[in-house]
Structure 1
Amino acid sequence: MNKSIRTRLIIGFMGVMLPVVVYMLINNSYARNIVREKVSETYLNTLDIFVRQTDRSLEQINDYLFKMSVLDSDVGLLMSFPMDSDVYTLTKIRIDSKLNRDVGVYNLIDSVFLYHKNDIIFGTNSVYNDTKKIIQSHMDVMTTEKNLALNDQHTWQVRADDLMPGKYFLINFIKASEGLYVGAIIKVQDINTMLSIQWSDGDIGYNGIYLREGNRLVQSLTESTTTPALNDELSKEPYASLTDYETGAAYLVMNRLSDMVDIDYRVVIPEETLLRDLLFFRNATLFTPIGFLAILLIYLFFMRNMLFKPLHELIIGMKKISLGMLDVRLKKNKSLEFEFLGNTFNVMAEQIKTLKIDVYEEQLRVKQGELKQLQAQINPHFYMNSLNIIYNLAALNDTETVKKMSLHLADYFRFIMKANRDTITLKEEMTHIENYITIQKIRFPNKLQCTFEGMEPIVNYPIAALTVQPFVENSIIHGFKNRKQLFQIHIKAEMTKDKGFILTISDNGVGFSPEVLIKLQNKEPLQQDEKSSLGIMNVIHRLELLYGEKTSITFGNKTEGNGAIVTIEFP
């Protein structure tokens, strides 16, 4: 028991802190009411400053809306132009630029807008489409003749919409011209977030913003699952002490009304937490510096060899383990607990070292198996196409061509059998493509041409077998539609700064259709009836397995002329 850290901590803590606790209890007996009064006054002043600043910001935004509606020449002239005219569009662009600039000037504004029943111009910090729907739906209602008669341009209105984060928001607008209004939107959630900063997000107390009617709070405008259940009546006193009718806990409640909108800012502080925390700091300031320093030095000296030093060694060992230094081991300690931790740490480090090697080897085996499985899928894909070519030639009784075709197919599939390994050289892949093109030329005499450019520096670069050939095959199947003109395929290699290279396969065919191009760019699977989809998606998966994020593949159409372009970047 003498070696137990828990026993030593209890004895040491009681011996050091007992005088401090006795002193705090004595002092707490007469200082409770004084501290409560002073602290409440401080928090109330903080809330008053926040409410005044917020109202001042709302008033400044009102001034901004008024100046925008009256002084801005673009706003004044906007509705004098036809909406389908170029002048209207240019004016709208200038206004949109101003709004997007001004929305960042005022930290409270979430959106500022110009509204007309046929058009909306706005800048926002929120989701664009959601904001547009909010402005449209609410301004359609608020600009009716009945609601316009009740509108006070100096008073903000509280509105609710499920598209708005936090649901509730403040809105105000000013009429700029006939049918055109300048307005702004402020999220109640943003105001409450600024208010929360004053109270450390619940560490000191709770805060909320409420919709009020007369002397009552009718609706909470902020979401909070921890706010206590208190009376909704507004007190005439600066602050009130209320009791939660569910838990019986006492709280100090402060309310402040806004002059610019019918809302109430409420701050609720648990009296127990308030008094405990503040009395601790008060008593700590009254404690003599010499006595505090003496106790601190004694306790630190006592804890150093018993707790801090072993913990420091354990933390350093853990950091080394996290950095991959698996050979680190801890020394034995005199304390029973740290001796157990040290032995357990050493055993776990040895186990991690062994396990890491086993996992790495298993990942290699899984990766190699997946690559071979993906590569094997390509062989029957081209095999069926080749049989179709032979069938068509045999049907035409062209025996000489069948013989020539058979020889090329033998070379082609001899490559397939030899390529049953992880990687081949780029030169072998290009030779294979030439053989494939020769086979296709037998089918389409004088109609196909394949050229290569920039291959010399990288002919020995290792790639997965059948990485490029599926794209050449895809070009012929889908791009070679006009059989009256020569179909050209061009394969070009360009070196990159990081000693890799970019391989571009292009043709002069019909190119990718918009639907297929979108799917390929998003790496979405193609329809099962779309030929060559297996080969293309297969190549994409194999490149990701081999190189990870170091490689990329893009699809597109030529900007000048017809044809498709496939670009592969190799690290």
Structure 2
Amino acid sequence: MGFGKSIRTRLIIGFMAVMLPVVAYMLINNSYSRDIVREKVSETYRNTLDIYVGQTDHNLSQINDYLYKMSVLDSDVGLLMSFPMDSDGYTLTKIRIDAKLNRDVGVYNIIDAVFLYHQNDIIFGTDSVYNDTKKIIKSHMDTMTTVKNLEQNDQHTWEVRADERMPGKFFLINFIKVSEGLYVGAMIKVQDINTLLSIQWSDGDIGHNGIYLRSGNQLVESLTENSAPLELSYKISDKPYESLTDRKTGASYLVMNRVSDMVNIAYRVVIPEETLLQNLLFFRNATLFAPIGFLAILLIYLFFMRNMLFKPLHELILGMKKISLGMLDVRLKKNKTLEFEFLGNTFNIMAEQIKTLKIDVYEEQLRVKQGELKQLQAQINPHFYMNSLNIIYNLAAIGDTDSVKIMSLHLADYFRFIMKANRDTITLKEELLHIENYMTIQKIRFPDKLQCHFDGMEELLHYPIAALTLQPFVENSIIHGFKNRRQQFHIRISAELNEGQGFTLTISDNGVGFDPSVLEKLRNKEPLQEGESSSLGIMNVIHRLQLLYGERTSITFSNQTEGSGAIIKIVFPEFTEGVKAVV
């Protein structure tokens, strides 16, 4: 059924054709309102950013004044280099300066370190890691004092520097020359400035902020890890703000850039428009009221049509799909509508007729399958019967009447088992008892040469299997594997439970193993010659396992790793009542 031909689709399209013009008018009105709100709210945020940038520049200017006064007015700084560095006077003066610097670090909360630098010594106060700060001051001041040859009391401008040892990597540094080779300076972590900026926006609740290195009106590089998410333009606009859209997410943002007059950095704040409008519930509700009302009417209309038309049609289509999948017990409920009541009754009659026809076909297939299984099972009996008569004949020929008696009793048990084997299935325990009878007969023929062991069978003795599933493999092991009559021949039948997937029976011996050509045919599921398979024994079992369990079972053939002895592994599925019914 095509999308456009659906009754539901056509009804919805007709309803929307009436309502869409009204909704379009409301959306246009909403867009105009949003523009007005964006302008008014953004003005407040612009003022907040301007105040913060101005305050930060003011703090940097105050720090410059502090450095200048220290270089000119502080007596200890002025006297420091008048003492030899290894003198007591130098040491005492250094201690007093160190105390002042550590005191002043706490006064200016954005300062990370205040220092007095000389090529041969550094005095500083800091709240950061002492050794790292000292190394940073040393490496950067060595570079900058070499490049900049300042006159005494000349003020160097604030500069952005980068160092992996500094938290956040980037920092601001400024210094003033006190005397030849002596400088007083301060460092500020960009990360700390950005943290104070984040507080202005409730730490991300209102918007995202970042600090960038600038060159003219171009943003060159982000100096903060939590930089603003919008990376559409690195150019600083002359406009008070920009309204930009992220191409990846489709979200709209209000972007504001402000440059610092004290250092070549710019502050950027990106505010999602959702944040701008989140408190304007009145305008939002007024704009959405009509569309929501129309949607409510549409839902009521669709609910009415669902009970009257859509639901009966859906049940009819679903019932037809289930019938096509073989679920023949599906029946439709009666409907109050005259037309759908007629369709439902007709559908139920047709479903009952299909179910009756399919059951008849299934039962006929089951009878054919059972007949094929019994025919395969009966093919094994003459083979073992002839072997048993040969053994009795040989015993009678040598006059061993006691063995003939024992052999006759076990042969009687064998025929008793054969009569029971006419059942659909027997238990694993009965199969193992039959194998014990068979082994007893063979032991009479080969005294002290044969042994058969059962391992791990206790939990599986009542599992139903087809008669003579394991015995042909035991017989095949003796016929083809028992070549060396001088050593004792061992046959082992072991069981191993598989988690939630039935169990595996392994039949192994210490004989000569499978001939390579026979093993290849068995693995490729190719037919064997009668002599190779012990008169239909192995192939017969393979066919019966497929009839009983289908793809849920598997049988594999191999030889021992050292090249002797055969291994047969049969995987049986987990027992269900369905297995017994198929047989």
Class of the TM-score when normalised by the shorter of the 2 chains: 0.3 to 0.5
Q: Of the two, which has the highest radius of gyration? A: 2
